[in-house]
Amino acid sequence: MQTKTDYFHAKSKIYETEATRTNNVKNIGEAILERLTYDKATTHVMDFGSGTGLLTEQIAPYVRKITTIDTSPSMNETLRAKEKQLGCELSMLELDVMSNELNETFDSIISSMTIHHIEDVQALFHTFYRLLHSKGTIALADLDKEDGTFHKEDMGVFHFGFDQEEFAMWAQKAGFEDVTIEIVSTAKKPYGEYPIFLLTGRKS
Ligand SMILES: C[S@@+](CC[C@H](N)C(=O)[O-])C[C@H]1O[C@@H](n2cnc3c(N)ncnc32)[C@H](O)[C@@H]1O
């Protein structure tokens, strides 16, 4: 059996020590909460590519439950240690959503800085559409088109960011309505600044 590479193994323990990363995800979380309405009593969110839970932690106080999906055992271990302080129910799935059938549906799917690791993004949008309740929402943040300098190591990257128009078109093609996309943050690295967009949309 082939074992999937855990590209984040070395990073997981130091992942949250970089202020540029924590500040970026803080901006993304705030932007999501400004744009979408959640209900503490009922809302069930999926955080796709949840990593150590930087985004999950921010959204948790406003929802009933978060299901996290991430293929990295080491990132999941760091998130698991935070479970008691989260402030909402947590269910963690260590799987690739593209090759595993999920039996649940969600009120909202959120994601931060993960989709550039996914090869077929159009297929991902179709999967998200299927996994949402009627009127369910998406809030997906990632890198705007960049020159390939954002990652200095091999982290399993398929896209050097995205063209916003193309990204929004993939969402619309999958059936999402009220699609908006705008820059909500900048990831500042010593060698450059990288704009980060947030796309929101709604299932019909
Ligand atoms: C850059 S990290 C982002 C983590 C977190 N969302 C944040 O903003 O801090 C990307 C995460 O996506 C996960 N990932 C990559 N490919 C994935 C896939 N096919 N399915 C689920 N998670 C994946 C990685 O394991 C990693 O934890």
pLDDT (tens digit per residue) in 60-103: 999 999 999 999 999 999 999 999 999 999 999 999 988 888 98
| The pLDDT of residue 155 | 78
Domain ranges across the chain: 15-202
Q: How many helices (H) and strands (E) does the chain have?
A: 5, 7
Mean pLDDT of the chain: 94
- In the chain, % helix, strand, coil (3-state, to 5) comes to 30, 30, 40
What mean pLDDT do residues 99-128 have? Answer: 95
Ligand 1 pocket by C-beta < 6 Å: which residues?
Answer: 8, 25, 49-51, 54-55, 69-72, 75, 96-97, 112-114, 117-118
Rama region for 119: left / alpha / beta (φ>0; ψ in -120 to 50; rest)? alpha
Query: What distance in Å separates the CA atoms of residue 71 and residue 79, rounded to the nearest whole number?
Result: 13
Atom of ligand 1 nearest to the CA of 53: 5
Indicate the Cα dihedral angle 90, 94, 98, 101, nearest 10°: -70
| The pLDDT of residue 2 | 42
CATH code at 15-202: 3.40.50.150
C-alpha 155 to ligand 1 mean position (Å)? 10
Residue nearest to atom 9 of ligand 1 (CA): 54
Give pTM, 2 decimals. 0.95
* Residue among 70, 111, 143 whose CB has most ligand 1 atoms within 8 A, to mutate: 70
| The pLDDT of residue 7 | 76
Q: pLDDT over 70 for what percent of the chain?
A: 99
C-alpha 42 to ligand 1 mean position (Å)? 26
Atom of ligand 1 nearest to the CA of 51: 27
| The pLDDT of residue 1 | 37
What mean pLDDT do residues 3-26 have? Answer: 84
Residue range 22-64, pLDDT digits in tens? 999 999 999 999 999 999 999 999 999 999 999 999 999 999 9
Residue range 129-146, pLDDT digits in tens? 999 999 999 999 999 999
18 has a pLDDT exceeding 90: no
Strand-pair partners of 90: 66
* Residue among 25, 71, 94, 102 whose CB has most ligand 1 atoms within 8 A, to mutate: 71
Q: Higher pLDDT residue, 11 or 121? A: 121
Atom of ligand 1 nearest to the CA of 25: 8
